[in-house]
Amino acid sequence: MESAEVARRFLTFFEERGHQVVPSASLVAEDPTLLLVNAGMVPFKPYFLGQRTPPSQRMTSAQKCVRTPDIEEVGKTTRHATFFQMLGNFSIGDYFKEQAIPFAWELLTRPREDGGFGFPEEKLWVTVFDDDDEAQSIWHEKVGVPLDRIQRRGMEDNFWSMGVPGPCGPCSEIYYDRGPAYGREGGPVADEDRYLEVWNLVFMQFERGPGDSKTDFPILGDLPAKNIDTGMGLERMAAILQGVDNIYETDTLWRVLDRAAGLTGARYGRDRRADVSLRVIADHVRSGTMMVADGIRPGNEGRGYVLRRILRRSIRNLRLLGGQDAGLMHELTDVAIKAMGEQYPELVRTAANIHTVIDAEEDSFLQTLRTGTAIFDTAVEEARRSGGRTLAGDQAFKLHDTYGFPIDLTLEMASEQGLQVDEEGFRRLMREQRERAKKDARDKRTGNLDVSVLDELLTGAGGEVDFIGYGHLRGDARLVGLLVGGANAPAAGEGTEVEVVLDRTPFYAEGGGQLADHGVIRLGNGAVVEVTDVQAPLPGLIVHRGRVLSGEAQAGDSAHAEVDVERRRAISRSHTATHMVHAGFRRALGESAAQAGSENSPGRFRFDFTASGAVPAGVLRDVEDEVNEVLVGDLDVRAFHTSIDEARAMGALALFGEKYGDEVRVVEVGDYSRELCGGTHVARSGQLGLIKVLGESSIGAGVRRVEALVGIDAFRFLARESVLVAQLAEQLKARKEELPERISGVVTRLRDAEKELEKLRSQQVLAIAGSLADTAKDVGGIAFVGHRAPDGTGADDLRKLAVDVRGRLVARPAVVMVTGVPKDRPVVVVAVTEGARERGLKAGALVGVAAKALGGGGGGKDDLAQGGGANPAAIGEALDAVERAVGAA
């Protein structure tokens, strides 16, 4: 039974029993406490907490999930994986244990020909929480499971939460006995390799607080209603139903693994190291494909870091297996898209975009491997020179953070060199960096607020704040939440920084690339709050941040909210312009030019999109011309709501990676642009006035950024450009149309003059080589030359001079030191003859002596080395220090 069929049977079973089938949510979690969706119930958390009204009290889904805490174990075992799919059925205050338990048993044991999974009843065992007599009674008396196949377990095994504050409850797990060949008898408590968990029924009835472990957290109280949250791992179920030993041999993962083996010449099952690499590749390629499809881009923090690490581990393991060619990831990504495409058709629709991102990351990392290897060699040389046997943690971290070198690759290469790596130091620095990144991302959305406080605010707003900002820029409301310093407060006086929640608001919260509205909130008692930021830290919750300008803000007071109209209009112009530029680039570059981010600010916007390389200047001009011609046509801009299927049928563009519900908002600019969008826009395209594209640049592997001006800002820019062009024409005595050719001629002549000056300067420096050799002094039997070149002498010339002087002293033991200040920092070069090296003098060591005096560092070979520092005033001291070192040899 293929994986897609397992999912289909599960969803059909529960749909027939009154459950609404809910599409998988994006891997990008709405919950601010999570980077990625890590459990099937995560999208349902607001319903369990009573913060949002569910579309149905009975729901079922096949949810995409990613977990990475054990990423280092992926491949080493056949159990660990980063991406998995969780099948689940959910009851929001409808049925509880007495129906959830029989549902699960019926689906598992019903014959396959009748739509079930066909498990023999005698092969199934169950566990219940220690004190859950009710669950045991249902299993035994209602379902008929013998008591000797029902086992009780504690908090560690049979009490479930997401690991963060939120819903939780006792659970009952169902296990499948794979037989004596897989382990000893005695049920799940005796051997979980033989008895494999296939389904977890969570009786979600409590709310937990923060805690550091699976068992150490407070229970804050009961949820608004008793709920059911179940989870069946699709991959594990597929392994059992397909008769294979583990998830890596199931249909979807095996297709990627088998293709990786074919591309590299490896044979799965023959060599443990090769098997580990093949499993890493199979899991990570599939994970990376799914993450990119949900709009995540490789980066150095947060979700982007997780994706980059996953993709680069795949590439590295391909190389370990002998796959040295570029383009291997493209083939494997294509296999993953086809393997998962039946369950997730959006993979096929966005295949070009997925390939663009992953191909670019592969190209980038192959270059990184070349650069990082050179930096690694230098670090090894430094470690050996200092007599150490360990590569410092900060060096390993720099290799990783600056050059993208994976720590496991650093460990392996260090081992080959007979060195160890300070792993604890590296991991400490990594933890600090990740915590900073997570805190920064979380603070942006939550304003440092505790999640429990956000939950209270959402409850106080009646479950969801009513946004009226599409049709109104001002409106009456009630202040239902007031925070000072992150804590609930009854009142706040003049000058106090506050966070305010209204039951309804015209203020647009930052999102979808659109910056937040500004404005004021006037309270019924005469107090005024200035709003400088608006965020939506939880779905349905809008938080206004600002300062009390006058009076005293009081919770519960009536309010009148007023948006800064001019700012809103300027931002709306930018947002509509972004849609038009997006449409223009797709027409010019094809569908692979998918939006990868944007920022719409007053009078200015930036637009990020996937592309394999730089956009030619001619394309930029053509797109700019096209969108300006369209906006002059004064097309009608309209927004309307419809179903996601109808929106796609009419050609509305769903942005790559965005999350959409069953009902979506479509924004049209005539027939030119049609996108799904929740932002604010102008009424007609002519209101934009003018769009001026400033240029484009790379902001990461496979992603380009275009920046542009719109409206009066664009006109002002062109006016300044016109004045500048007139001034240049006056200075060069040329007509405006002649300026490019005239300026090119001036620049060419200037460069030729600079080259000639550099040549003369070099000749002058080298001309004194002979006289310098003649001035060599005897220092303990060594001919020593110490010379400070004139300031401005380039580092290359200093090196040439040192080598030239050494060549004139080659018959003697000699040391030549040349120093100077090319710009604002001193440089020192030391050249040593063979005779001096035989006396124990090495250029690298002598440069170190000089660099120390100069407040810097350096290194090189025994015959020639270079260094530098930060203190030009210490050049005399550096010359003396090297001379003393020569004399002491």
What span, in angstroms and rounded, lies between the C-alpha atoms of 728 and 734? 8
DSSP state of 636: B
DSSP letter string, 509-568: PSBTTBPPP-EEEEETTS-EEEEEEEEEEETTEEEEEEEEEES-EETT-EEEEEE-HHHH
Question: CA-to-CA distance for 2 and 5, rounded, in angstroms?
Answer: 5
What is the pairing mode between strands 604-610 and 595-601?
antiparallel
CA 720 to chain centre: 38
Q: Is 677 known as a binding-site position?
A: yes
Backbone angles phi, psi at 414, to 5 degrees: -65, -40
Strand partners, 230: 201
Q: Tell me if 842 sits within 8 A of 826, measured CB to CB.
A: no
518 annotated ligand binder: no
- From the list 682, 668, 666, 723, the residue with the least C-alpha distance to 571 is 682
Cβ atoms of residues 706 and 607 within 8 Å: yes
DSSP label of 140 = I
CB atoms inside a 10 Å sphere around CB 75: 23
Give strand pairing partners of 697.
Answer: 705
Q: Give the per-residue SS3 of 208-257.
A: ECCCCCCCCCCEEEEEEEEEEEEEEEHHHHHHHHCCCCCHHHCHHHHHHH
Integer CA distances (angstroms), 450 to 219, 443, 447, 609, in order = 16, 10, 9, 34
- Alpha helix (H) ranges present in 386-422? 393-401, 407-416
- Please provide the size of the chain in residues: 889
Contact 556, 479 (CB under 8 A): yes
Three-class secondary structure of residue 438 per DSSP: helix
Confirm whether residue 579 is marked as ligand binding: yes
Beta bridge partners of 801: none
Looking at beta carbons, which pairs linking 83-86 to residues 24 or more positions away fall under 8 Å?
83/283, 83/286, 83/287, 83/290, 84/233, 84/234, 84/235, 84/247, 85/3, 85/7, 85/24, 85/233, 85/234, 85/235, 85/343, 86/39, 86/40, 86/62, 86/231, 86/232, 86/233, 86/234
Residue 135 DSSP class: H
Query: What SS3 class is residue 113?
Result: helix
Q: Is 19 annotated as a binding residue?
A: no
Scanning 38-190, the segments in alpha helix (DSSP H) are 45-48, 97-109, 133-137, 155-158
Q: Are 627 and 540 in contact (CB under 8 A)?
A: no
Phi, psi of 29 (to 5 degrees): -75, 140
Residue 384: alpha-carbon gap to chain centroid: 36
Give the relative orientation of helices 97-109 and 3-15 as an angle to the nearest 10 degrees.
140
For residues 468 and 465, give the distance between their C-alpha atoms in angstroms, rounded to a whole number. 9
> Pick from 492, 542, 496, 495: which is nearest to 517 by CA?
542
Query: Nearest CA to 638 among 576, 571, 570, 568?
Result: 576
Q: What is the C-alpha separation between 13 and 112, in angstroms, rounded?
A: 12
Query: In which order are the strands placed within the sheet that holds 637-643?
Result: 637-643, 663-669, 673-676
Residues marked as binding? 575, 579, 677, 681
Residues in binding site for Zn(2+): 575, 579, 677, 681
